[in-house]
Amino acid sequence: MLALDSLSENCVLKLAKNLKLMLNGKKPVILCVGTQKVVGDSLGPCVGSLLVEKYKIKTIVYGLNDFNVNAKNLLISKQFVETVHRDRLVIAVDAALGKSEDIGQIQLAGNGLYPGSATNKNLPCVGDISLKGIVNRKGFDDMATLLKTKAAEVCVMAEVIAKSLVLAVEDCAF
């Protein structure tokens, strides 16, 4: 697993380089998990919307601000992606809670992720590659923590993740 501070110099380039290596020339499908209704869980849909609306990425993206992939529809979304795009790698993007010192960190791993684990939801693993943004500290009342998360910090991480995905997928510069 690669873990980088979203504010660090060259974070976008380091993420993009490692993503590109993991993709090994394959065009991915990007599955952005979360809901804009809860600030701390809005990282995925923010990334998805940036990719589609701002960067016009040339790959398939599921999970936007207006069309969430969340706990209610995750299973059917996962089954749909696996059926329709069975020959593609799936990059899953989601927010996560972690240790205080990890807030603002973006974690890239060569395996899927389990959405909803911060709020003790029992959801299936999604993705072949995962990008998680640590948006706040895991603690006693994780839903309250997600609600109190600062939107500005989520937006910074979303921008970094979106740029790195565009660079990894499309070989372009900003």
pLDDT single digits (tens) 37-77: 999 999 999 999 999 999 999 999 999 999 999 999 999 99
Q: Per-residue pLDDT for 172 more than 70?
A: no
pLDDT of residue 170: 84
User: Greater confidence, 149 or 120?
Assistant: 149
Q: Per-residue pLDDT for 2 more than 90?
A: yes
For residues 39 and 147, the answer to whether their CB atoms sit within 8 Å is yes
Q: Per-residue pLDDT for 13 more than 60?
A: yes
User: Greater confidence, 170 or 63?
Assistant: 63
pLDDT of residue 140: 78
User: Rounded distance, CA 125 to CA 8, Å?
Assistant: 29
pLDDT of residue 174: 46
pLDDT of residue 119: 74
Q: By percentage, how much of the chain surpasses pLDDT 70? A: 98
Domain count across the chain = 1
> Residue 71 is part of a domain; what is its CATH number?
3.40.50.1450
* Sequence-ordered list of residues with C-beta below 8 angstroms from that of 69, at least 6 positions apart, any chain: 31, 32, 33, 34, 44, 62, 63, 77
pLDDT of residue 123: 93
pLDDT digits (tens, 9 = 90+) for 86-124: 999 999 999 999 999 999 999 999 999 999 877 778 899
Mean pLDDT of the region 3-20:
96
On average, the pLDDT of the chain sits at: 93
For residues 135 and 157, the answer to whether their CB atoms sit within 8 Å is yes
Mean pLDDT of the region 10-28:
95
The residue type of 43 is L
Q: Per-residue pLDDT for 173 more than 70?
A: no
Domain that holds residue 100: 2-170
Mean pLDDT of the region 1-23:
96
Q: Which two tokens stand for residue 110?
A: 């060569």
